Structure formats: structure tokens, C-alpha cells
Structure 1
């Protein structure tokens, strides 16, 4: 936790920092980045217990996707490109796409990579903070967005503080901490068409020019929101490159990326009776079930694996997949509801109009 001189760690930051899985504070993100990534058992390893395997499939592996690879390459290049740029905001990246397509996962994996690379190079006692991960709050204002930036590093914020005071504290502390990469998630929550949203967008622009870091944004279908509209939108679009994190197609340029993703997930399963190759053969069905969304696919397979462990079958089949309710977005795609036609009471038998006089 980083504190401004002469201040203590705020109680709220400590409370949030101890939440399991919280990555929106520095200590929480550092724990996430340093934790060993879940991995399937290696040949010759002793069998895991049921509880260990349940925990493993709950966490599960992160499969490299085209979006992760593209984002990692872009971020590495842009961090070098903007390293000695000190007058204006550095080039940035926006990761956009529909819901449950792996945007946050890609963002966090790139942040983890940057954190670990810094840790390997850092000298003993180095307390630099290389990465910040911040969520845009709902109905964000300049002050609430600034408070989220402050909370990540444990900067005390009181209700009496003005936006300008929060901004000064954030810029000073982020610079002193050596933050080089800022990951800003849920960027679609910013709405520059409202007065408070416009102030938040202006605040963000100010921060990008005063903090010497590369900014990476992620949000749902950003190009279709108000974020790219008007003068403010033109400024953002002129500084940021766009990476589309869309649904995975069943086939693309002679390859089958969705089937490859399924195969990678299947190879990571820890089920004793599962038949290798059975899930890739279900690729057309799984693509229809999930609409090609990575998040929906991962949840469906993880849930099926946990069910197989709990009921003792130790395998995933088409039948077991059929019995599982996926997320609502996927279910609506797979089983669209047919609108019920409202019957109008005309006072006449069905199919008949009034009798002629």
C-alpha cells in the first residue's frame, strides 16, 4: 500500500484490500499477479483430492486468446513508444467488444505480465508500483472516478476534499510510486453527454497528461457509446488505438479458433474418466450454446467439470452439458423466447368475424 507523506492507510482501503480476489487495490493486485497460475496436473504428479480438483476447476486456467496476444503486443510497443514522451498524453489502447468476450481477462493478464516483468528486474527493496487497475464507477463523476484512482494506492480521500485536491494527490502519488501502466475497466460507464460524465471525461484526460503512464481502457462496445462522440470523443479517438475483442468465429481464414479454444480448455481438465477429443467434436454445438463468447464457454465447461466431480461421473458429455443452464445471455441466444401473441377478445369465435347483417 502506498501512502502520501504524513498520512496513514485509510480503513476503507484496508477493508477492501482484504477481500478475496479484490484486484482494485495495489496489495490485492500484487497478490493476484504473484499467485501461481492454476495448472493441470503434470504426468507423474500424485492424484489430487476431490477438494483440490473442485478448487482447481473453480479457478481454472487462462487460455491464451487472440485478444490477449494482440493486447500484450500493443501494450508493450506503446509503453516503449511513450517512455520518453513527457509533454502530452502517451498513446493508449481501447479494448472493446460485446459482454463476456474476455476483455477483463485480457486486461488483467497483460497487467500481470507487466507486474511480473518489473518484479524480475527490480532490485531488493524496490517498492515501485508498476501497474494500477481501476474500475470506472457507475454514473461516474470526476470526483468519484478520482476517488477510485486514490483507493487503489490507499490515498486518503475525505468528503470535504475537492476534486482538485484529489487530483493533486493522485497525480503526486502515482508519479512517486512509479506507475507505468494504468488499466481502466468498464470505460463504457463514462457518458460525456451528461454534465457529470463530461467532467469525468475531462478529468481523465487531465490525468493522462499528468501521470507518466500508458493507459489501457476496456469496455462493452465502446464505439457505439457516447464516449467517441463530440469533441471529447475525437480527442480520445485521436490518441487511442482500438482492439476488437469480439466473439470467436467457428472458422476464420482456414482455421477453427473456437475449436482450438475448446481443445485447450479440455486439455486442462482434471477429470479421471473424460474422453480426450470429445469436447472439440462438440464445437458446433458449443458455439451455438455460447454464441462464440469466451466467458460463456469457460463458465459452461467449468460448471460441467464441477458437476462431473460432484456426481462422480468424472467426464463431460453432450448430455451433461445439456443439463446445465449457462449464463442468461448465452441461454437467450441458444433458446430465444418466442413472443406470445396477445389474443384480442372480439366477442366472436376464433377465426371468425362478425356475421353479416
Structure 2
């Protein structure tokens, strides 16, 4: 048992390590080449000893400036838990032919949902590539603007795979885009290249009524090709759920179930219908919320700040520079990782450019991050 627990802990460390080594600002990630570059790129902390000496003016391409521009993900319990749960869901899905389950990532804007989505894909592809180097295990798309047309969803996948014809001349660029139906080509590539995971970001842009006509396409991917879809966006859970109710006529189905339900006598002597307590149409959800700081939890927020401190690369960084300002930083950012990352990264870059090489309260107060 001890050996098994140790092996499991080591595997979990590897999974989380893949996520934390990921670049936060990948380029052209909605293409196969860009996605693969993101998966394989590892951002390493520059060595202070190899950096420009203290007091030396830095240029815009200084390694430390670039590094702090996309600071690495730091340990975050909700993020880590969501990543591990999705990892296990994918392990179950890839080893069965029926009963596969899709997943949703939901929560307020600025809580790290997109980064979690991509970390899931990165970790999954890394695992597959350890055994197979000729597959396209992951496809990553953004929900299309005209989301009520299946052709546009297929086109987004085709663009990722490099199947969508790009305009070749200036005249073609100026012409209205004619979107051909590439369903057969896309299906062929997904099947032949063993795609197993589809990441869909931007679900907050999709109305449930727009998703109704295309939801069964995702069902076909799952049931015929074994592809798990992860839907990501603020409100994604209810968007997908509402679309499912309409697409599958679940209201009518539940009414019929209610009529057929057996009746038993309860402890109160009254007759009660025995109805299911679970709802299989509701997908499992990874919730990401702002990180709290209150009397009942005084550890999570400081642990995140310590992670940022350890990742910083400054000549004169004071001990506990961020943890010592935990209450101020939470008041400024509300616990939103997007705002916190912007604040710390901009402060680090300012400290390097101005030669301060430390993050102080005065410096933090001068950084504008909105919010």
C-alpha cells in the first residue's frame, strides 16, 4: 500500500508539473503547429548569475523581462484538484467504448479557466506522446461567432487541423468568406489520427439555443470516435445543460419518467413516487473561483503568493515581499488570478526596468490593473 501511495503521489506531481511548466502566452494556439509548440515549450526561470549585472540597463528582449511577461502557474489547490480529476476522467474515457462523459470548466472571469483547459490538454498530449508520436491527441478551438451553424464549428476544427483553405491572393482576402462543409475531411483526420480530446473555449459567447443544433455533433464525436469534449467558459455549465434539455427533449422524457415511477409508502404514511436523485445530463464541472482570504482560510492565499515569490527573478527581492502584503494584494485583486498575475508581473518588469530589483508596496500601488 505504501508503495502504491508513493507511486500515485509521484504521478500526481508529474501531472501538476506539466501544467506549471506551461507558457501562459502561447502564440497561434488554435492551430496544430501552435498548439504543439505550446505543449512542448518549457519556460525556465533565468539564473540571476547569468543575467545582466545589477545596475546594467536592460533591453526589451532581456530574458528576465520575457520570463516575467508570462510568469509560470503557481500551486493553487482548486486548480490542482480540477486538473487531477479531469486526468482521471480521461483515463476512464480512453479505455471504454460506451458511457463516456464530457466535462465543463466554469467560474467567474479571470479565475484561470482557460489556462486550466490548456493545461489539461497539455498534460494529456504529453502522456499520449510518451507512447505514440504519430497522433493528434488534442484539438483546441474557440467557439465560433456564428455558433448556431454546424458548418462553423466544423470549420474551427478544420482550421486547427490545417484543412481550411486560406486565401491565396489579396482579392480572395477581400471577398466574403464562403465556408464549405468540411465535415467528412475533419472526421477522416480525427479518426485516422486518433484524436481523443477536444478543448472548446469561449462558451460564454454561445447562447443555449445556438448550441442546440450542434450538440449532437459532439455526441457523435464522443460515441463514434471516443473523443471527450471539455467545454470552458463563464456560465458554460448552464449553457450546455439548457441546450441538452432542448436538443434531447429531456423535459418530456422526465415527465414520462414521473408517470412511470413506482409509488411507495413513506415513513409519514403518505404515498411517494420513487424518482432518480441524480441527473446524468448534467456534466461534471470543474469550478474555479477567486481565491479566498478570510478567518476560516488563512493559508491558501499566502501559499499562492509564496509560489509567485519563488518564481520571481529579481536581484534584491526582499524576504516575504508578497506574503507580507497578503491583505493588500487580496484587496487589490479580489483573489482573481488574472489580476494578481498582471499585478505581480507588471511590478516585476517595472522593478527590472527601473533598477529597483524588488517589489514594494509603493511599487504595487503604482501598477494599474483595472478591477
Same fold (TM over 0.5): yes
The Cα of 1:76 is off from its aligned counterpart by: 2.1
The Cα of 1:209 is off from its aligned counterpart by: 3.0
Does the 8 Å contact 2:103/2:230 carry over to 1?
yes
The Cα of 1:160 is off from its aligned counterpart by: 6.0
Distance 1:39 1:114, change over 3 A: farther
Unaligned 5+ runs, structure 1? 1-18, 331-357
Count of aligned residue pairs for this structure pair: 297
Deviations 1:256-290 (CA, angstroms, capped at 9, x unpaired):
21111111101111111120202111111111111
Please point out which of 127, 140, 150 is paired with 1:142. Answer: 150
Deviations 1:125-176 (CA, angstroms, capped at 9, x unpaired):
x3211111111122423221111111111123683633xxx22322221111
Mapped to 1, the partners of 2:93 and 2:73 lie a distance apart of 29
Q: Are positions 1:161 and 2:180 aligned together?
A: yes
Please point out which of 46, 50, 53 is paired with 2:49. Answer: 46
Please point out which of 111, 123, 132 is paired with 1:113. Answer: 123
Mapped to 2, the partners of 1:254 and 1:239 lie a distance apart of 30
Does the 8 Å contact 1:92/1:239 carry over to 2?
no
Greater shift, 213-222 or 66-75, is seen at 66-75
Mapped to 1, the partners of 2:113 and 2:285 lie a distance apart of 13
Mapped to 1, the partners of 2:213 and 2:208 lie a distance apart of 8
Residue 352 of structure 1 is matched in structure 2 by none
Does the 8 Å contact 1:68/1:109 carry over to 2?
no
Does the 8 Å contact 1:227/1:233 carry over to 2?
no
Q: Are positions 1:228 and 2:241 aligned together?
A: yes
Does the 8 Å contact 2:212/2:247 carry over to 1?
no
Q: Are positions 1:33 and 2:36 aligned together?
A: no
Mapped to 1, the partners of 2:296 and 2:221 lie a distance apart of 41
The Cα of 1:96 is off from its aligned counterpart by: 0.4
Q: Are positions 1:319 and 2:362 aligned together?
A: yes
Does the 8 Å contact 1:40/1:268 carry over to 2?
no
Residue 85 of structure 1 is matched in structure 2 by 96
Q: Are positions 1:209 and 2:216 aligned together?
A: no
Residue 313 of structure 2 is matched in structure 1 by 270
Residue 269 of structure 2 is matched in structure 1 by none
Residue 21 of structure 1 is matched in structure 2 by 27
Q: Are positions 1:187 and 2:194 aligned together?
A: no
Greater shift, 252-261 or 234-243, is seen at 234-243
The Cα of 1:48 is off from its aligned counterpart by: 1.5
Residue 329 of structure 2 is matched in structure 1 by 286
Could you tell me the TM-score, scaled by structure 1's length?
Answer: 0.76
The Cα of 1:306 is off from its aligned counterpart by: 0.4
Mapped to 1, the partners of 2:367 and 2:333 lie a distance apart of 12
The Cα of 1:87 is off from its aligned counterpart by: 4.5
The Cα of 1:105 is off from its aligned counterpart by: 0.9
Does the 8 Å contact 2:145/2:205 carry over to 1?
yes
Distance 1:239 1:214, change over 3 A: farther
Could you tell me the TM-score, scaled by structure 2's length?
Answer: 0.73
The Cα of 1:94 is off from its aligned counterpart by: 0.6
Unaligned 5+ runs, structure 2? 1-24, 53-57, 166-176, 251-278
Does the 8 Å contact 1:71/1:110 carry over to 2?
no
Residue 259 of structure 2 is matched in structure 1 by none
The Cα of 1:115 is off from its aligned counterpart by: 1.8
Please point out which of 76, 94, 100 is paired with 2:87. Answer: 76
Mapped to 2, the partners of 1:304 and 1:267 lie a distance apart of 15
Greater shift, 232-241 or 212-221, is seen at 232-241
Does the 8 Å contact 1:134/1:184 carry over to 2?
yes
Q: Are positions 1:151 and 2:159 aligned together?
A: yes
